[in-house]
Chain A
Amino acid sequence: ETGVTQTPRHLVMGMTNKKSLKCEQHLGHNAMYWYKQSAKKPLELMFVYSLEERVENNSVPSRFSPECPNSSHLFLHLHTLQPEDSALYLCASSQEWREVGTDTQYFGPGTRLTVL
């Protein structure tokens, strides 16, 4: 595997379910990101991790819980979601996190989440 991979690619869940999204980067990067891509809205940054430490939580509701056990893996734990949380969730990584101008973000293919 190369680049940034995400599993599952598609997920359907009920509002009372608990599920997790997984992201893995094979680029040796130190920073990882979760983004939300909703229909007709710009990509929204949700979380930023640097060397397993969360450095940004962009006012995301607590029903989304990120976890970064090491610099190669990032999870997004989901519980009691709402239908409006249905979206494409994208993971990205970069060498470092402090300067987007020099540290290009590489994106995974995303997980298409549908909340019923």
Chain B
Amino acid sequence: AQSVTQPDIHITVSEGASLELRCNYSYGATPYLFWYVQSPGQGLQLLLKYFSGDTLVQGIKGFEAEFKRSQSSFNLRKPSVHWSDAAEYFCAVGARYKLTFGKGTLLTVNP
């Protein structure tokens, strides 16, 4: 069965600083990998997804993620964080119709 680990429960960064959120997955085959964001009072919004091909994936809102098979990782990055990026971020691995989510990383952005 697949699983996802997000090691950081809460991260605080200053506005304008770079960001990296970690995600490690466990899955026997080539995974489908996703990053979702959940703002307060909102549902989950898809930031980006990886199926195959180029291991660096570009998403919305200036986010990107890199798939590293050797490390079983799919870390999310942004070069310069904006205050509006404060939210909870979820990594997920997909198999057939099922998404398996991590517990999430809460991002706080200081002015």
Q: Footprint of B on A, CB under 8 Å? A: 4, 6, 9, 31, 40-43, 45, 48, 55-56, 90, 92, 97-102, 104-110
Chain B residues with CB below 8 A from A55, complex form: 97
Report the minimum CB–CB distance from B24 to chain A (whole Å).
Answer: 14
Contact with A along B90-101 (1 / 0, CB 8 A): 100011111111
Q: How far is the CA of A98 from the CA of B95 in the complex (A)?
A: 9
* Neighbour of A42 across the interface among B49, B95, B103, CB < 8 A: B103
Stretch at the interface among B15-23, B40-48, B55-63, B70-78: B40-48
B residues apposed to A, CB below 8 Å: 4, 32, 36, 41-46, 49, 51, 90, 94-104
A100 near B94: Cβ-Cβ < 8 Å: yes
Known: A41-B103, A43-B90, A101-B51. Contact between A110 and B96, CB under 8 A? Answer: no
Minimum CB–CB distance for B58 against chain A, Å: 16
Please indicate the chain A residues that have their CB under 8 angstroms from the CB of B90 in the complex: 43
Q: Which of chain A's residues has its CB closest to B93's CB? A: A100
Closest to A98 in B: B97
CA distance A105 to B101 in the complex (A): 13
Question: Which residue of the partner chain A has the closest CB to B50?
Answer: A101
What residues of chain A lie closer than 8 Å to B99, measured between beta carbons? 43, 45, 100, 105
Are the CB atoms of A109 and B42 closer together than 8 Å?
yes
Q: Are A42 and B102 in contact (CB under 8 A)?
A: yes
| Complex: chain A residue closest to B102, CB-CB | A42
Give the residues in chain A near B42, CB-CB below 8 Å.
Answer: 109
The 6 A-B residue pairs whose C-beta atoms are closest, nearest first, are A107-B43, A100-B94, A101-B32, A107-B44, A43-B101, A42-B101
